[in-house]
Structure 1
Amino acid sequence: MPTVAVSDVAEGDFLLDVREDDEWQTGHAAGALHIPISEFVARFGELTEAAPQDGRVHVICRSGGRSAQVTMYLVQQGVDAVNVDGGMQMWEALGRPVVDDKGQPGSVL
């Protein structure tokens, strides 16, 4: 499965967060699209509308397990998708910005 390190995700790269609502509200990467894994198949159209047609989708969750499942699904659908290794825990550990649902500094559950 295609995987990238958090450090390989550049500002402006398309990021899909598949964690659940409570995790998202507490802290997420600014600018990420949020579609919980539990709703992903039903809301797949939101991704196809939002994702760049010629760009890569970076999929992230808390630690990498759920995002790996979604990445595999997307690759099977012909989407250029990669799993972000270490997820939001690594994102936060590396000092990347995390905001809550009000745009204030957040934290990762």
Structure 2
Amino acid sequence: MSDGQVAEVLVNEIPEGAYLLDVREPAEWSAGHAPDAVHIPLGTLGERAAEVPQDRKVYVVCRSGGRSAQATMALGQAGWDAVNVAGGMRAWEAAGFDMKADSDAEPTVL
């Protein structure tokens, strides 16, 4: 997309089995994340981009949509078919979608 805009989808538009890339920080991820998401913090995405498949659409999520928009733009410019998840994990949680935490605590979005 042009002039700094990135493609976006709502959380309920993410297809089942989609590649969901979570670019939040480790503490945010540990507190609560989508069960099948892949975690690559935004700050390490440049060095770890090869881990992200290029043969399918990548749905990028953060807490509210800002960092994931940056990651979506960078991936798109580098040749990935990436789309930002509008509202991020806050929207995911508000929609009542499954989440899990890396502890026995109730999953939450930090």
In the other structure, the counterpart of 2:62 is 61
Ranges in structure 2 where 5+ consecutive residues have no aligned partner: 1-5
Q: Does 1:33 align with 2:34?
A: no
Aligned partners of 2:61, 2:28: CA distance in 1, in Å? 12
TM-score (norm 1): 0.90
Q: Which residue of 1 aligns with 2:3?
A: none
Tell me the C-alpha RMSD between the 2 structures: 1.5
Q: Structure 1: 5+ residue runs without aligned partners?
A: none
The structure 1 segments of at least 4 consecutive aligned residues displaced by more than 2 Å after TM superposition are 102-105
Report % sequence identity. Answer: 50
Deviations 1:44-96 (A, max 9, x none): 1222xxx261x210000000000000000011011110000000000000001
Q: What's the CA shift for 1:106? A: 1.0
Aligned residues: 105
Residue 104 of structure 1 and its aligned partner are, at CA, apart by 6.9
Alignment TM-score, normalising by the size of structure 2: 0.89
